[in-house]
Structure 1
């Protein structure tokens, strides 16, 4: 007669009574707490409408933050009058906000606000309150130093939704279902900076630059309140940890979460050390991560370069007003939307067929990036060389659309490629890419004005076009030789081996379960 381990009944109100946990409830053999099948405490088992509503709020937060970063860029003339500053000093206000996107996560690691330890909900509450406070203060600034410092701190806290919202979506949807949600989420950081100047231009022209900041405060504040009210904690490890505490308090026995059992209890110092140093290890020691990050950073930097370039091209050279000048971004915005539609179509028609046939590998993500890699320089060169007074203004705006189209089709597949390649290390890899592109996005606007005034519109716009042209072969090369390269890189090889072992374990477990069913039926 085989010995059967005692199991703990679940009675927390989060899962149905009758579900059982393995273990004995002792120090040597604690009950192992994990999500059960159809467990309502697992965010992945929530209703589709609820999950999509939460995902929409999380994505809207990313859009609001990036919208705020660029809406400021069209207020130059009014800020000049109020503070008597140069163009270069004004642009620092844009750059510092974007630089905060890179610095923010490192700061939180030091002060202990990490979602791995405390969950995502507390980060949402603290960072949105802080953004509203700092942006509200910047709207009332009486000198330029206060304006710049407060925008930097607003950007520092604004970096939280850029990282945390993607994690929230991953908490809600299993990999096979999260493609559409992540596609829309990944477009928000590019659509926000493009639409910010359009709205900001008309607000600045009508009621002044302080109300541009005020509108952003209201926008972020409303989104923050929506999140506080409607987004509960979604991070699985934290939810399981809370459940272990509830169960232990209820009956006095020993419970540990399945992750703590498998990985050990994480000390805050260990989490902080990993958060601070691991992204840099991947960035500088993994060629795939470095090249992909450089490519994405050039695109991201070019998006923010346009914040300084568009006023020169259309306001200075063509004499447009601040409000009308913001409409020049519509061409790129339309391109981004078309890129989103293409990405969704490609995922549903091509990639999901490969996934269903179990023939998808990380390189299967890259064909759209090959198309986008061609569209990027076409859009940039077309924008650069159709901006003559003799050519109608609509031509350059329309021809900037391929750049927006290419942004989505390069960034999204490359991010998915990095996730599929590094799997267990994906969070650190994406953090490395995000930090690098945020730094580049902060630097590009600093030299935009001088570059356009010294080189002229055509050659200044051609420089990022040449950079994207140099990067164009990367998706094609990785599509052809990516598997061989991955096997030669330390961490991508480790990730592949780990996933292979996990799949073997799952197969073995499934086989054992089938045998047990057959035995019991006999």
Structure 2
């Protein structure tokens, strides 16, 4: 078994059967029928793997739009429901509660997919999201929007992060996983940035309530696609299904394999796993903090687009939504540049003195640091000092493209780093990262309005650029102390032991 297939073990986390069961000689124990078992997700046809991977990435893109699509019509919503914004940006509360809901579910509910299968969790959550969109469309007061957005955000966090888990379930090696994980990042980043663009188009032609109505329509129309083609990719859930079939036939099945039986202890174990990981795994803690600060600062910055372009160029709110297409374009460019990161990572194997022949884990961060420095920070600096009425609008728009490209490189680097390290429990690891990102993106943008009014467009953006520069340079310390940090990781130490054991067995 490859080292990255192994799972977390020990008294803290539930032990789970390996890919090829150690009990394969027992008739009463479900296991893969050899290394070429066609039901093992690692052995699925490549076409089926890519179909499910692309479907999961598309889901991430579609659901992430839900977070920001409501930001464009906030002026009309505030007017209809008598929401004041003189002192505080109260109209942002539907986005704040959405992100808080995402943080909660990513931390406590998302890991359930690891223990009870991705398909049932995904489909039930998908239907719940549609249900929570209905009261948003017909809301008669602002409180309804604020409350229902919390639950919608919780659903989106589960659906959007499923793609990262699917990549770990289907693709066995780091090399094969790199492109699927990058597609997840592309969907995650472009979905958030495309929300205002889509919201502007719907709001301009149909009105603010149709922002929710349209989502109900397209999510409802796509449900049959997900029902018939979103296959179960979790190997443990497939083995659990075999256990159930064996049990029905009268066989005495090992109780550890009756994986679909839900009880309180299993629920608590699944729900607490991200917290256990983030506070016991130094690598995951550092990665979570970096990604959370980056995404939070980025959300704060993009909130300024409306303020700057309406102030400088007298644009209406719909036009400020359309201009954020430049961020989406930049994120696509960043995704293309991420292929260079892939090459740099695998080329680092020739320089690895600690584990010869294996890539250096921190090599995943090379392009992320460059993207943070020259893309996010550099783009923000340029955006700050091109935000002048005498300078054409295309100048700050190009700067937004730079920021978009940099943000994708940063988040992709962190995600690759985390998914590779915690592939068997990538859902829990990414749940911890997503929680940090959601919390920071929920509350930091609440300060955007007062900051830009107090400091002015140029200095407010410059301050964000300085913060981003510090955040981008901080991970360079991992190149110095990365080996020591990884040495303190219980999981990585266990993985190294497994690698040595497997190598000895092969010999």
Q: Give TM class, smaller chain.
A: 0.7 to 0.9
CA change 1:486–1:106 in 2 (3 A) is closer
- 1:499 is matched with 495
- 1:429 is matched with 429
Q: CA deviation at 1:72?
A: 0.5
| Superposed CA offset, 1:195-221 (max 9, x none) | 111121121111111111222223333
- 1:101 is matched with 102
The whole-number CA distance in structure 1 between the counterparts of 2:482 and 2:334 is 24
- 1:23 is matched with 25
Asked whether the 8 Å contact 1:64–1:219 carries over to 2, the reply is: no
| Superposed CA offset, 1:39-70 (max 9, x none) | 12112222222221111111111111211111
CA change 1:502–1:267 in 2 (3 A) is farther
Asked whether the 8 Å contact 1:241–1:256 carries over to 2, the reply is: no
CA change 1:443–1:507 in 2 (3 A) is same
The whole-number CA distance in structure 1 between the counterparts of 2:241 and 2:180 is 27
Alignment of 1:346-385 (within 5 A): 346-347=341-342, 349-354=343-348, 358-375=357-374, 376-385=376-385
The whole-number CA distance in structure 2 between the counterparts of 1:43 and 1:424 is 13
Aligned-CA RMSD value: 2.7
| Superposed CA offset, 1:358-396 (max 9, x none) | 231212212112211212210111111210111111101
Q: CA deviation at 1:312?
A: 0.9
Alignment of 1:66-215 (within 5 A): 66-87=64-85, 88-106=89-107, 108=109, 114-175=112-173, 176-215=175-214
The whole-number CA distance in structure 1 between the counterparts of 2:295 and 2:238 is 35
The whole-number CA distance in structure 2 between the counterparts of 1:393 and 1:177 is 42
SS at the partner of 1:36?
Answer: coil
The whole-number CA distance in structure 2 between the counterparts of 1:51 and 1:420 is 18
Alignment of 1:439-478 (within 5 A): 439-478=439-478
Asked whether the 8 Å contact 2:106–2:432 carries over to 1, the reply is: no
Asked whether the 8 Å contact 1:61–1:224 carries over to 2, the reply is: no
CA change 1:54–1:425 in 2 (3 A) is closer
| Superposed CA offset, 1:449-496 (max 9, x none) | 222222221222223212111122233221233112322x2xx1x223
Q: CA deviation at 1:344?
A: 1.9
CA change 1:460–1:424 in 2 (3 A) is same
Asked whether the 8 Å contact 2:60–2:160 carries over to 1, the reply is: yes
Unaligned runs of 5+ in 1: 1-19, 512-522
The whole-number CA distance in structure 1 between the counterparts of 2:114 and 2:281 is 24
The whole-number CA distance in structure 1 between the counterparts of 2:109 and 2:276 is 19
Q: Which moved more, 1:311-320 or 1:377-386?
A: 311-320
SS at the partner of 1:359?
Answer: coil
Asked whether the 8 Å contact 1:381–1:465 carries over to 2, the reply is: yes
Q: CA deviation at 1:179?
A: 1.0
| Superposed CA offset, 1:420-451 (max 9, x none) | 45566654433222111111111122222222
User: Among 325, 328, 337, which residue is 1:333 paired with?
Assistant: 328
Mapped pair 1:404 → 2:404:
yes
CA change 1:426–1:133 in 2 (3 A) is closer
Asked whether the 8 Å contact 1:54–1:230 carries over to 2, the reply is: yes
Asked whether the 8 Å contact 2:115–2:270 carries over to 1, the reply is: no
Asked whether the 8 Å contact 2:169–2:424 carries over to 1, the reply is: no
Asked whether the 8 Å contact 2:30–2:239 carries over to 1, the reply is: no
Q: CA deviation at 1:282?
A: 4.2
CA change 1:301–1:51 in 2 (3 A) is same
Unaligned runs of 5+ in 2: 1-21, 351-355
- 1:510 is matched with 506
Asked whether the 8 Å contact 1:131–1:158 carries over to 2, the reply is: yes
The whole-number CA distance in structure 2 between the counterparts of 1:131 and 1:200 is 18
User: Among 258, 261, 264, which residue is 1:269 paired with?
Assistant: 264
The whole-number CA distance in structure 2 between the counterparts of 1:50 and 1:425 is 22
| Superposed CA offset, 1:3-60 (max 9, x none) | xxxxxxxxxxxxxxxxx973344xxxx4452352221211222222222111111111
Q: Which moved more, 1:212-221 or 1:118-127?
A: 212-221
Q: CA deviation at 1:92?
A: 0.2
Which structure has more relative contact order (CA 8 Å, sep 6+)? It is: 2
- 2:10 is matched with none
The whole-number CA distance in structure 2 between the counterparts of 1:340 and 1:92 is 31
TM-score by length of 1: 0.84
The whole-number CA distance in structure 1 between the counterparts of 2:142 and 2:128 is 20
TM-score by length of 2: 0.87
Larger Rg: 1
CA change 1:473–1:35 in 2 (3 A) is farther
